[in-house]
Structure 1
Amino acid sequence: MEPVYGTVIQAARLVWRVQGLKFTITGVENLPVTGGAVIAINHTSYFDFTFAGLPAYKQHRGRKVRFMAKKEVFDSKVSGPIMRSLRHIPVDRDSGAQSFSEACQRLKEGELVGVYPEATISRSFEIKEFKSGAARMAIAADVPIIPHIIWGAQRIWTKGHPRKMWRPKVPISITVGEPIYPTLPAAELTALLHSRMQHLLERAQDAYGPHPHGEFWVPHRLGGGAPTLAEANRMDLEEATQKAQAKAARRDERSAPGDPPE
């Protein structure tokens, strides 16, 4: 029994009802009833993780997903205790060996581990280039990868746009793909996962309904106002460069000698 996890889920459901969200979930039969699996999720919103665990929880009597999340979330005095009580997995992006090892152990113990192969939110709302972590974990733990596509969450809160938390009343689509078994080397398995998730994304978009021309949450490919994948990659690179420079400046300040005595 995990009373904290159950309480958090019920609280989330209450928030969703108040917000008027409308869920469409397909492909739940692709989730394993027992045993470990890597839950690979596309990343378009700050709320993706709250929706990604819903298919397993609803379909299989409360199966829970342990999400891999950046260490800073665990360092927070507010979110840290909650994340640890839910047994999610902290990721230090400068040194990921420990989190990789912990995730593999959880998978071998029969847990579902949620990962974002894109690592960061896709500003274009297209599928970005993948990191190989999901594939390497599946191979190391000998478990399948279950692709998940979430569509519509970017309308509530995403990078570079204001939050629309109060009664957004938007439809949220969650599509669960067929298991991908770790029978290929990591690079090839990653490429296969990317291809499958691209196909699932396009299928989810086709079924979602109208994508109004020029809207910020609609991909450029569908006539929307989102940047192209290439433009979004350039924005990500600029942001990463700025963060690296700021981090280096802070490090230099800490290592600088004190002012000389007068």
Structure 2
Amino acid sequence: MVDVTYPIIIAAAKSWFRVGGFKIDMQGTEHVPASGGAVIACNHNSYLDFIMTGYPGEKNKRYTRFMAKKEVFDHKVGGPLMRSFKHLAVDRSNGAEAFEIAVNALKSGEVVGVYPEATISRSFLIKDIKSGAVRMAAAAGVPVVPVVHFGMHRIQTKGHARDLSRGKAVVIRVGEPYFPTGDDVPAQTAELKRRMDALLDECIAAYPEEQKPPGAWWVPASYGGSAPSLEEAERLDVEEKKLRAERKAAKAATKKA
């Protein structure tokens, strides 16, 4: 099936980059395979990650099919749009089915985008990652390609107001393909995280000094910014989950009454 929506959205994104005065520094796009399946393992620090983590593949004439919760596909507007991109609907309550969907797509030659951290990192560092990316790649016999970006979170991320002001820098680094065998999943997952950590370090080092002043909220504390530490970010995530569960319970109780 021919992609119709993807090229249109990519063209619109590139226009936004020009109008918004984005300063994009992207390296390593040659690591995205020109053909065949691959898992793109992306960091997750904003609500707009998919734009930048799919960009390297487009440079090599590949479209990334992102895994997304099935509820998004149930939306009357979002659903048809997601299906037009050929993204993958997954049921979070059925991990085995989600895994099978991804592996089948990889075996059919698709590039599948995965966020191993699962949720947005408030610290802007790489959180502990899940093993899914490694297991999928091993099961399908394809490489994992780590893609890490830094800067998009300044536009829209968790806990901060949206900022559409012009001239923001975004740095993207694509790592070399990594071929997990599945023989030692914990060790191979740890190796993927090590590679993602190293790429993030490259991104922050390459980020323009004038756009990462001391104490900036968008810079990790360990790099001189004021973002929460990994531990503090985890505490905030736990609190958020608790509040969400309480609101859900209250809403259910109100309906029942």
Q: Structure 2 length as normaliser, TM-score? A: 0.93
Residue 145 of structure 1 aligns with which residue? 144
Residue 179 of structure 2 aligns with which residue? 181
Structural mapping, 1:41-60, within 5 Å: 41-58=42-59, 60=60
- 2:19 maps to a residue whose letter is V
Structural mapping, 1:185-204, within 5 Å: 185-204=184-203
* Contact persistence 1:156–1:168 (CA under 8 A): no
The farther-off stretch of 74-83 and 146-155 is 74-83
User: How many angstroms apart in 1 are the aligned matches of 2:121 and 2:33?
Assistant: 28
SS of residue in 2 equivalent to 1:189 = helix
Structure 1 residue 250 displacement after superposition = 4.1
SS of residue in 2 equivalent to 1:113 = strand
Aligned-CA RMSD value: 1.6
User: Are 2:99 and 1:100 equivalent residues in the alignment?
Assistant: yes
User: How many angstroms apart in 1 are the aligned matches of 2:95 and 2:179?
Assistant: 23
SS of residue in 1 equivalent to 2:92 = coil
The farther-off stretch of 38-47 and 86-95 is 86-95
User: How many angstroms apart in 2 are the aligned matches of 1:15 and 1:145?
Assistant: 29
Structure 1 residue 248 displacement after superposition = 3.9
Residue 169 of structure 2 aligns with which residue? 171
Superposed CA deviations along residues 30-55 of structure 1, whole A, max 9, x for unmatched, are: 12111101000001111110111111
User: How many angstroms apart in 2 are the aligned matches of 1:56 and 1:177?
Assistant: 12
User: How many angstroms apart in 1 are the aligned matches of 2:39 and 2:65?
Assistant: 10
Superposed CA deviations along residues 148-199 of structure 1, whole A, max 9, x for unmatched, are: 001111111111111112x431111110001110124221111110111001
User: How many angstroms apart in 2 are the aligned matches of 1:119 and 1:143?
Assistant: 21
> How many percent of aligned residue pairs carry the same amino acid?
50
- 2:172 maps to a residue whose letter is I
User: How many angstroms apart in 2 are the aligned matches of 1:249 and 1:138?
Assistant: 41
- Flag structure 2 segments of 5+ consecutive residues without an equivalent: none
- 2:243 maps to a residue whose letter is Q
Do the aligned partners of residues 188 and 217 (structure 1) sit closer, same or farther apart at CA in structure 2, a change above 3 Å counting?
same
Q: Structure 1 length as normaliser, TM-score? A: 0.91
SS of residue in 2 equivalent to 1:102 = helix
- 2:55 maps to a residue whose letter is L
Structure 1 residue 6 displacement after superposition = 1.0
Larger Rg belongs to:
1
User: How many angstroms apart in 1 are the aligned matches of 2:137 and 2:247?
Assistant: 35
User: Are 2:86 and 1:87 equivalent residues in the alignment?
Assistant: yes
User: How many angstroms apart in 1 are the aligned matches of 2:185 and 2:146?
Assistant: 16
* Contact persistence 1:47–1:153 (CA under 8 A): yes
* Contact persistence 1:139–1:186 (CA under 8 A): no
* Contact persistence 2:117–2:126 (CA under 8 A): yes
User: How many angstroms apart in 2 are the aligned matches of 1:77 and 1:11?
Assistant: 22
Residue 157 of structure 1 aligns with which residue? 156
The farther-off stretch of 175-184 and 37-46 is 175-184
Structure 1 residue 76 displacement after superposition = 2.4
**Residue correspondences, number:** 253
* Contact persistence 2:102–2:112 (CA under 8 A): yes
Structural mapping, 1:54-73, within 5 Å: 54-58=55-59, 60=60, 62-73=61-72
User: How many angstroms apart in 2 are the aligned matches of 1:161 and 1:250?
Assistant: 26
- 2:126 maps to a residue whose letter is I
Residue 4 of structure 2 aligns with which residue? 3
- Flag structure 1 segments of 5+ consecutive residues without an equivalent: none
* Contact persistence 2:169–2:208 (CA under 8 A): no
The farther-off stretch of 76-85 and 114-123 is 76-85
Structure 1 residue 95 displacement after superposition = 2.4
